[in-house]
């Protein structure tokens, strides 16, 4: 039970990597609060966790809204009294180059992918510091470590998340707070389907292309979840400021 007795917040917990990680954290003993703008999806994941005999709540929140974020974290504190783990996972993608990216889409991607990490971390870090420590894991991307085609806003946002994680690790290590990023490659989630649609490509062909990496396949949300749970746990007690890549060798 790697997270026995701990309270975890997962943003974007309603689907994909967020849902798998929420369930994995619950299996490892954590009480899990799912923050998601899609309340129905998050509520279903929370119900699945409760049906398994663990504790979970779902909170509807736009994680790019500062007031809403503060209120959501207050709700977690009211329910569970502490926060030990934060998984900043909420994210979206727009597959366009700079000439085809409008300002609204740029702001939307930056709001969900970067501003949310800033807002939720800013609210949670004082809580963790008062408790004597905690663990924050932020979802970066292989494209946060190298460039990619037709994804200018996404690449910029994930590069920001990776380096923000390093900066947070430096600033708050003395408070016992570890901060790392997990950087998936292509993973079988709804986001991949959205990418294929945005690029006007056949989904199967798009997935086959994404599988062109040393392990010869795309990843699964559960495989990313295992890395996140380990980083969040005391098993990774001397790891902070790291960028852990989970991509089947795609950036090798």
Residue-wise pLDDT tens digits, 223-235: 999 999 999 999 9
With beta carbons less than 8 A apart as the criterion, state whether 104 and 27 touch: no
Dig out the tokens for 124 from the structure: 């949670």
Contact 40, 64 (CB under 8 A): no
Domains of the chain: 7-184+219-245 (3.40.50.720), 192-218 (no CATH)
Element (H, E) at 57: strand 56-60
pLDDT at residue 209 tops 90: no
Sign of CA dihedral 100, 103, 104, 110: positive
Closest CA to 168 of 154, 157, 178: 178
Q: Would the pTM count as exceeding 0.85?
A: yes
3-state secondary structure of 105: helix
Structure-block tokens of residue 246: 């989970």
Say what the pLDDT of residue 206 is: 86
Retrieve residue 222's tokens.
Answer: 């559960």
Q: Could you tell me what percent of the chain has a pLDDT over 70? A: 100
Euclidean distance between CA atoms 17 and 20, whole angstroms: 5
Q: What is the DSSP string of 133-161?
A: -EEEEEE--GGGTS--TT-HHHHHHHHHH
Please give the positions annotated as active site. 154
Which residues lie below 8 Å from residue 196, measured CB to CB, with a gap of 6+? 202, 203, 206, 207
Please say if the pLDDT value at position 203 is more than 90: no
């Amino acid at each position: 039970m790697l997270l026995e007795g701990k309270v975890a917040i997962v943003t974007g917990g309603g689907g994909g990597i967020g849902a798998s990680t929420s369930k994995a954290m619950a299996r490892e003993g954590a009480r899990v609060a799912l923050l998601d703008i899609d309340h129905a999806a998050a509520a279903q994941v929370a119900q699945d966790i409760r049906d398994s005999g663990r504790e979970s709540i779902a909170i509807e929140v736009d994680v790019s809204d500062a007031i809403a974020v503060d209120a959501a974290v207050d709700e977690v504190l009211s329910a569970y009294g502490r926060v030990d783990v934060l998984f900043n996972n909420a994210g979206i993608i727009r597959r366009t180059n700079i000439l085809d990216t409008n300002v609204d889409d740029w702001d939307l991607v930056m709001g969900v992918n970067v501003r949310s990490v800033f807002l939720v971390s800013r609210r949670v870090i004082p809580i963790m510091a008062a408790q004597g420590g905690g663990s924050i894991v932020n979802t970066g991307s292989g494209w946060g470590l190298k460039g990619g085609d037709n994804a200018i806003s996404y690449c910029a946002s994930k590069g920001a998340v990776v380096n923000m994680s390093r900066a947070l690790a430096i600033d708050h290590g003395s408070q016992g707070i570890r901060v790392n990023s997990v950087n998936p490659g292509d993973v079988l989630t709804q986001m991949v389907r959205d990418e294929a649609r945005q690029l006007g490509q056949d989904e199967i062909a798009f997935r086959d292309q994404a599988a062109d990496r040393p392990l010869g396949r795309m990843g699964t949300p559960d495989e990313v979840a295992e890395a996140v749970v380990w980083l969040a746990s005391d098993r990774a007690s001397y790891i902070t400021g790291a960028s852990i890549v989970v991509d089947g060798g795609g950036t090798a």
